[in-house]
Amino acid sequence: MSERPDLSVKVGSLTFPTPILVASGTFGYGTESPELTGARELGGIVTKTLTIEPRRGNAPIRLHETPAGLLNSIGLQNVGVQRFRDEKLPKLRELGVPIVASIGGKAPEDFVQAAEHLRDVPGIAALEINVSCPNVKEGGIEFCQRPDSAAAVIRAVRDVATVPLWAKLSPNVSHIGEVGRVCRDAGAEALTAVNTFVGMSVDPRTRQPHLPGGTGGLSGPAIRPLALAKVWETVRVTGAPVVGCGGIATAEDALQFLVVGARAVQVGTVSFRIPDAARRIRQGIEEFLSREGLPGIESLIGTYQPPQ
């Protein structure tokens, strides 16, 4: 019997047991039906984005399915960072999986306050700074479209945080690599690429949008080729550790991101359809490595052969 391939990866200063994490907002607080989701076998869990105050989120309808994609407008519904820390985190920690807390806000101060509530809290491996949510009018996407304000947020949080920072980038920009570079220079240890793409759908009968807010964020397999191009650009331009995300539904998909240089990936929308998709993807990657005779995932990461 051959040995199981080594799936552990380093993302900056952190080590994860496998490169398959789940993406913010697509896995609740991680504690919902862990038997169904196989949460204990994950490389890591990124929490729903947490804000300093609880948020009730946007009015229904919040989801609209499009070909191979899902438009969402959740509006960062969350219990707030304090209740997360006090009520959700203890249970989440019991899963024994690295936890990345995603934090969001409307202004740099909000992010700083949220980070302060998570200072020295045991069991949080990193903070993912969501400067790219397309469904919150006041902040979110605007931060990332202006690299300087994204950087200001990172810099401010860097001063108070006790764990590495990941900057979650928006794909809705001309040059994601530039934004990534600025975030890295501001103190992000790793870059998560990408959040959802701005999309829209309209009901021709009512002349109204399917999502009451008008636009939403597109996720799911439809965006995979777009996300992969953004990840490759981010890897190439920044040289920083990148966590790939966007449309991953199969082991083959995840491998594409790792090949172009992502050091880990986050699985999102597919978990809605297949609760333990992330676990299955991890299994598929193990099988791939065994079949290819590779000792571990590090032998595959960044092996992309770009055209001459």
Partner 1 sequence: MTSVPQSAPARVVSNRRLNPEIHELVLRLPAEWGPPEPGQFVQVECLPANPFILKRPFSIARSRLGDLGMELHLVYGAIGPGTEALTRRRPGEMLDVIGPLGHGFRPVPGRRPVLIGGGRGVAPMIALADGLAPNYEDGILIFGARGSAQLYELEEVPYPVTIATDDGSVGFHGNVIQLLEQLRGRGELRPEENALYSCGPNPMLHALSDWAGEHGFPCQVSLETIFGCGFGICAGCAVPVHAAEGEESDEFGHYRFACVEGPVFEGHRVDWEGVKE
Ligand X SMILES: Cc1cc2nc3c(=O)[nH]c(=O)nc-3n(C[C@H](O)[C@H](O)[C@H](O)COP(=O)(O)O)c2cc1C
DSSP 94: T
Provide, rounded to whole angstroms, the least separation between the CB of residue 247 and partner 1.
Answer: 9
Nearer residue to its own copies within complex by CB, 183 or 228: 228
Which span sits near partner 1 by CB under 8 A: 71-79, 117-125, 136-144, 194-202?
A: 71-79
Residue nearest to ligand X (CB): 25
Per rule CB under 8 A, is residue 48 in the interface with partner 1?
yes
List the structure tokens of 108: 């740099």
For residue 289, count CB atoms less than 10 angstroms from its CB and return exposed for 0-12, middle for 13-18, buried for 19 or more: buried
Per rule CB under 8 A, is residue 293 in the interface with partner 1?
no
Per rule CB under 8 A, is residue 2 in the interface with its own copies?
no
| Rounded Cα gap, residues 164 and 44, in angstroms | 15
Of 305, 299, 304, whose CA–CA distance to 19 is shortest?
299
Contact between 238 and 223 under an 8 Å Cβ cutoff? The reply is no
Q: Which of 26, 58, 172, 238 is close enough to bind ligand X by CB under 6 A? A: 26
Which span sits near its own copies by CB under 8 A: 1-9, 64-72, 82-90, 116-124?
A: 64-72
Of 305, 293, 294, 223, whose CA–CA distance to 260 is shortest?
305
What is the secondary structure of 102-165 as a DSSP string?
EE--SSHHHHHHHHHHTTT-TTEEEEEEE---TT-SSSTHHHHHSHHHHHHHHHHHHHH-SS-E
Per rule CB under 8 A, is residue 61 in the interface with its own copies?
no
Q: Which of 44, 69, 108, 177 is close enough to bind its own copies by CB under 8 A? A: 69
Cβ neighbour number for residue 222 with a 10 Å cutoff:
20
The strand pairing partners of 189, in sequence order, are none
Provide, rounded to whole angstroms, the least separation between the CB of residue 262 and its own copies.
Answer: 11
Provide, rounded to whole angstroms, the least separation between the CB of residue 131 and ligand X.
Answer: 9
- Quick one: what does residue 83 bind among its own copies, partner 1, ligand X, none, with the CB cut-off 5 to 8 Å set by partner type? partner 1
Of 108, 124, 117, 131, whose CA–CA distance to 163 is shortest?
124
Nearer residue to its own copies within complex by CB, 30 or 134: 134
Q: Is 245 a catalytic residue?
A: no
Q: Which of 31, 49, 113, 234 is close enough to bind ligand X by CB under 6 A? A: 49
Nearer residue to partner 1 within complex by CB, 4 or 36: 36
Tell me, residue by residue from 68 to 87, as one string, x for binding to ligand X by CB under 6 A and - for no binding: --x-x-x-x-----------
**Residue found by looking up tokens 């590495």 in the block:** 164
Nearer residue to ligand X within complex by CB, 70 or 92: 70
Contacts of 217 (CB under 8 A, 6+ apart): 71, 72, 73, 133, 134, 135, 195, 196, 197, 198, 199
What residues line the site for ligand X (CB under 6 A)? Answer: 23-26, 48-49, 70, 72, 74, 76, 102, 130, 133, 168, 195-196, 219-220, 223, 245-248, 267-269
